[in-house]
Structure 1
């Protein structure tokens, strides 16, 4: 059963990791077993949401952006029935569709806290949507401004909060709303069997980190800065990337936290069993 951890305790732990020069690692998990093993391996927090759910069904996480599932219902069920009962002493964060027009989202945030979640984040996020569709979302009250409002409410209720951001304006607005952990998002991940063929390269990603963190100035130096997506597929990739983006405090793993390890280990074990000769061989 997940330990009841306050926002203050979570932030104290994260700042201790930062001051010790250790990477803050956030694992986005769609099943109880991957969440349990990530926590056992030392993850600083576990997060679940509809994208992780679809990823662990063998589908692209981008399915979470299609109208084929109730994102918020899936998140609360994943927590109550799969994650919160198997993780101990590790924060568990709910990724929610903040712009959901079918719910009173302030009340839903309270329900997540009552279920045992230690915090919330904006996933899925409209930050990854652009063009005319994004404009239509913004003009109809289902844009990024709504995500800021919902996370601001969660922060005011004492929950730990984190946010996907893709530009300086989003990053600063989330900081001003009181969000604790700002995650610079580089877009869908490459790699594996269902990753994007095109992904943001290291140089462009480092530039995004720089302009987003510059927008914060010294006023929000206490905020935890992490990143997600793009071409970072392995710990080695992150070790190289952080040289280009030294302001980062850590990394948020999605496919790299659960899909890649499974895609590599399960076929290997299967081949090893198949290689064992029986008496008829």
Structure 2
């Protein structure tokens, strides 16, 4: 079962990696196997959230933003498969904060008792776009519920990673006490079920830097990971770190779905190339 860490222990581990010149890597896992492999590969954090289960079913992860299932039920079910495969890497629970029936404090306590060492806001309404996100906010189901999740987790001294999609969101989450920000550019490009048209690598990296600037205006010590959009492989992830102040990368489809697709297609083709005589 995954080892549980305190917020202070995680921060010490992460700062140690940064001081040694190594980037932070958070791996979003949709199965026990990929979580197990990510730990063996040296991931610093393993995220468990509803979007990952869809991509590993061969379905676009955007399904997590449509009203066909419950994100927190997915989290609990996935945890039964993933937490037992991870031994010494802090696991982060992606919590859907928007459910009006959710007892946030009790749920935070529950995921910690299960073995999670931290929490993040996933899914997040920023992906819906300004109009729908504003409608959700007016209904009491918007970004402010995600901010409240991070604020309450920090009050309980639980490690937090906050996904943000704009400088304004970055500033707000920094004020809420987030330990790490995930600068989200959008759905990851590439592969069989990824986005085909995204903003340029240069523009995406500039957008990341704007989010970093806003967050550090509140908390100069806050650290940021890049994710999504054109950041879809090692080379583009490296670019996003090199040309911004980010200290690491959060892989989702780029660490799990796309490599799996490529490996299975390749090995199947190789088997089909065998001869019967």
What TM-score range do you get, normalising by the shorter chain? Answer: over 0.9
Residue 50 of structure 1 corresponds to which residue in structure 2?
50
Residue 120 of structure 1 corresponds to which residue in structure 2?
119
Give the drift of 1:219: 5.1
Q: Distance in 2 between matches of 1:117 and 1:217?
A: 27
Alignment of 1:31-180 (within 5 A): 31-79=31-79, 81-180=80-179
Give the drift of 1:206: 1.8
Residue 231 of structure 2 corresponds to which residue in structure 1?
232
Contact 1:93 1:121 survives alignment (8 Å) = yes
Instruction: Give aligned pairs, total.
Output: 277
Residue 200 of structure 1 corresponds to which residue in structure 2?
199
Q: TM-score, normalised by structure 1?
A: 0.95
Alignment of 1:246-257 (within 5 A): 247-257=245-255
Gaps of 5+ in 2: none
Gaps of 5+ in 1: none
Matched, 1:12 2:5: no
Q: Distance in 2 between matches of 1:150 and 1:217?
A: 21
Q: Distance in 1 between matches of 2:254 and 2:155?
A: 32
Deviations 1:47-66 (A, max 9, x none): 01110010100000001001
Q: Distance in 1 between matches of 2:270 and 2:166?
A: 46
Contact 2:164 2:184 survives alignment (8 Å) = yes
Q: TM-score, normalised by structure 2?
A: 0.96
Give the drift of 1:240: 2.5
Look up the SS of the partner of 1:111 in the other structure: helix
Look up the SS of the partner of 1:85 in the other structure: helix
Give the drift of 1:92: 0.6
Contact 1:76 1:94 survives alignment (8 Å) = no
Contact 1:120 1:154 survives alignment (8 Å) = yes
Give the drift of 1:242: 2.4
Give the drift of 1:199: 1.4
Give the drift of 1:249: 0.4
Q: Distance in 2 between matches of 1:30 and 1:9?
A: 25
Residue 182 of structure 1 corresponds to which residue in structure 2?
181
Residue 276 of structure 1 corresponds to which residue in structure 2?
274
Q: Distance in 2 between matches of 1:61 and 1:269?
A: 25
Q: Distance in 1 between matches of 2:214 and 2:261?
A: 38
Structure-2 change in CA distance of 1:277 and 1:241 (3 Å): same
Q: Distance in 2 between matches of 1:235 and 1:145?
A: 33
Contact 1:187 1:200 survives alignment (8 Å) = no
Give the drift of 1:218: 5.8
Q: Distance in 2 between matches of 1:248 and 1:25?
A: 11
Give the drift of 1:70: 0.8
Q: Distance in 1 between matches of 2:241 and 2:221?
A: 19
Deviations 1:94-124 (A, max 9, x none): 1111111121122111111111111110110
Q: Distance in 2 between matches of 1:32 and 1:55?
A: 14
What is the root-mean-square deviation of aligned Cα atoms in Å? Answer: 1.3
Contact 2:226 2:246 survives alignment (8 Å) = yes
